[in-house]
């Protein structure tokens, strides 16, 4: 089940090396219209890609659907893809989710690799083996657990990414920083490093180092529990409140990016962790400040509380009708399958609004 995670310094070189060794009988490259324009040129010179057949799909999550995937299957069929062919997914989470599932389902599964080009894709979607498409208005309704053969991590792709998408992905890095091991000062990748990152003057080399450490936190958790029977739920930290905020923002027609909702959700769930498990208040306030400074506030008032609780009740992570949270005792010490009373949820929302 293990995926090879390749930390790139010169992606053409690392990719060439991999393709020489892997030696597929055909190479297919999936991009969306943006990554085709902005990212393909970075790997175009790889010799083995000269004969690759390229499929370009429309960008955006609304196209992560059965119509698009059937075009991909069609293309693979018409161009003679076999079980020994390789699909390369070059794009954000939309491309790696859809391409991963196209590969997992074509002829019962052909190998694929991911080259994530968004920060959210790199830190989350491209790693961990969850692939799929939206169906019937439901997110990721159809899909499969199917790990990529390899994932190539190169932060220099993010230079063309807008600030909001960069921050959106960074929220998942903050989550991994909380879930990961406590690090000594000077060791790369600890929470202190994550909280110290300067978004006004982005250092992509430093981002690449932090990102690689962050990806390894997810990879370690996924290896322990690939199909989310237990500890993989740790990765849901921030996502119970986060999904409720995200849904509310869509209902209001003022959508926030997924990672922004997760950043707000992390503050809330660390407050709940403080209530239930004695999570350090000073660290909670430090993270709340980081989120407020970089992500701003999510506007709602106490009239929205019942609606938010209702949204949490409908979260697909729930079991036995109870709202399910992942909480923390301390950095690196997680407690899954936690619940909270409506009063505690309201108190948490008060804290979030007032901080």
* Residues lying near ligand NAD in the complex (CB under 6 A): 32, 34-35, 38-39, 59-61, 64, 91-95, 97, 117-118, 120-121, 124-125, 128, 130, 139-140, 157-158, 160-161, 165
Identify whether the C-beta of residue 348 lies closer than 8 Å to the C-beta of residue 271. Answer: yes
Min CB(109)–ligand NAD separation in Å: 17
Closest to ligand NAD by CB, 165 or 273? 165
Min CB(40)–ligand NAD separation in Å: 10
Which residue matches tokens 């202190």? Answer: 192
Min CB(36)–ligand NAD separation in Å: 9
Phi, psi torsion values for 116, nearest 5 degrees: -70, 140
The angle at the Cα of 96, spanning 128 to 236, to the nearest 5 degrees, equals 40
Closest to ligand NAD by CB, 139 or 281? 139
Angle between helix axes 239-251 and 305-313 (nearest 10 degrees) is 120
- Residue with CB nearest ligand NAD? 93
Min CB(41)–ligand NAD separation in Å: 11
Min CB(32)–ligand NAD separation in Å: 5
* CB under 8 A, 24+ apart: contacts of 74-81: 75/28, 76/28, 76/102, 76/106, 76/110, 79/26, 79/28, 79/53, 80/26, 81/26, 81/28, 81/106, 81/107, 81/110
150: closest CA among 207, 215, 67?
A: 215
Closest to ligand NAD by CB, 282 or 316? 316
How many Cβ atoms are within 10 Å of 226's Cβ, its own excluded?
16
Identify whether the C-beta of residue 154 lies closer than 8 Å to the C-beta of residue 191. Answer: no
Closest to ligand NAD by CB, 157 or 279? 157
**C-alpha to C-alpha distances, 265 to 157, 171, 250, 324, 344, nearest whole angstrom:** 27, 10, 16, 13, 15
Closest to ligand NAD by CB, 81 or 167? 167
Closest to ligand NAD by CB, 126 or 272? 126
Min CB(60)–ligand NAD separation in Å: 6
Closest to ligand NAD by CB, 61 or 280? 61
Min CB(95)–ligand NAD separation in Å: 6
């Amino acid at each position: 089940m293990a995926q090879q995670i390749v930390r790139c310094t010169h992606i053409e070189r690392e990719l060439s090396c991999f393709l020489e060794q892997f030696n597929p009988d055909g190479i297919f490259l999936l991009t969306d219209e943006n990554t085709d324009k902005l990212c393909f040129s970075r790997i175009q010179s790889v010799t083995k890609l000269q004969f690759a057949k390229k499929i370009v799909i429309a960008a955006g999550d609304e196209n992560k659907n059965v119509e698009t995937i059937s075009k991909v299957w069609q293309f693979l069929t018409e161009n003679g893809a076999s079980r020994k062919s390789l699909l390369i997914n070059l794009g954000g989470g939309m491309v790696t989710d859809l391409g991963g599932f196209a590969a997992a389902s074509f002829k019962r599964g052909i190998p694929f690799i991911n080259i994530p080009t968004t920060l959210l894709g790199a830190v989350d979607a491209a790693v961990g083996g969850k692939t799929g498409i939206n169906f019937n208005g439901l997110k990721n309704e159809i899909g499969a657990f199917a790990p990529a053969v390899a994932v190539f991590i190169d932060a220099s792709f993010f230079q063309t990414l807008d600030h909001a998408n960069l921050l959106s992905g960074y929220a998942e890095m903050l989550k991994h920083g909380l879930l990961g091991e406590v690090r000594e000062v000077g060791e790369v990748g600890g929470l202190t490093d994550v909280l110290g990152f300067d978004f006004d003057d982005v250092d992509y080399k430093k981002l690449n180092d932090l990102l690689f450490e962050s990806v390894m936190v997810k990879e370690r958790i996924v290896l322990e529990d690939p199909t989310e029977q237990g500890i993989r739920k740790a990765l849901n930290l921030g996502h119970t409140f986060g999904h409720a905020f995200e849904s509310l923002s869509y209902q209001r027609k003022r959508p926030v990016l997924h990672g922004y909702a997760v950043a707000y959700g992390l503050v809330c769930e660390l407050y709940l962790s403080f209530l239930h498990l004695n999570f350090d208040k000073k660290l909670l306030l430090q993270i709340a400040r980081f989120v407020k400074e970089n992500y701003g506030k999510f506007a709602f008032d106490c009239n929205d509380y019942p609606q938010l609780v209702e949204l949490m009740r409908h979260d697909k992570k729930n079991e036995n009708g109870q709202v399910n949270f992942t909480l923390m005792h301390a950095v690196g010490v997680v407690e899954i399958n936690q619940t909270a009373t409506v009063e505690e949820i309201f108190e948490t929302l008060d804290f979030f609004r007032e901080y």
